[in-house]
Amino acid sequence: GIQVEQSPPDLILQEGANSTLRCNFSDSVNNLQWFHQNPWGQLINLFYIPSGTKQNGRLSATTVATERYSLLYISSSQTTDSGVYFCAVGIYNQGGKLIFGQGTELSVKP
């Protein structure tokens, strides 16, 4: 099955700093989503981005499908950005189920 690897596993930032999170996947995919899991466990959709680039405020994401990776950029980080960021991928012929990476745990210090 598809393997999804995220890096780095942990990241500590000072408030205001920028960061890049990476997601590598082992096969072609039709679905790629980025999620933020907040300290209360809630999963928040950030991007649906099987290819291309999207931006939403201080966050942006780029997926290069041909090279099987996706990047999540966080600019001017805030303490509320803390939590775990997950990348998940899916394939149409596998029922649309998502395969999750292990996540990147981000801690933003004031």
Residues that bind other proteins (CB under 8 A): 4, 30-31, 33, 35, 41-43, 45, 48, 50, 86, 88, 90, 92, 94-98, 100-103
Six token digits for residue 82 = 């803390």
- Residue 92 backbone phi and psi in degrees, to 5: -50, -50
Q: How far is the CB of 32 from other proteins (least distance, A)?
A: 10
- Please, which residue, 10 or 15, has the CB nearer to other proteins? 10
Spatial separation of the C-alpha atoms in residues 21 and 83, rounded to whole Å: 13
97 vs 109, which CB is nearer to other proteins? 97
* Minimum gap (Å) between residue 48 Cβ and other proteins: 4
- Checking DSSP bridges between strand 52-56 and strand 43-48, what pairing results, if any? unpaired
- Tell the smallest beta-carbon distance from residue 70 to other proteins (Å): 15
Count CB neighbours of 18 within 10 A.
11
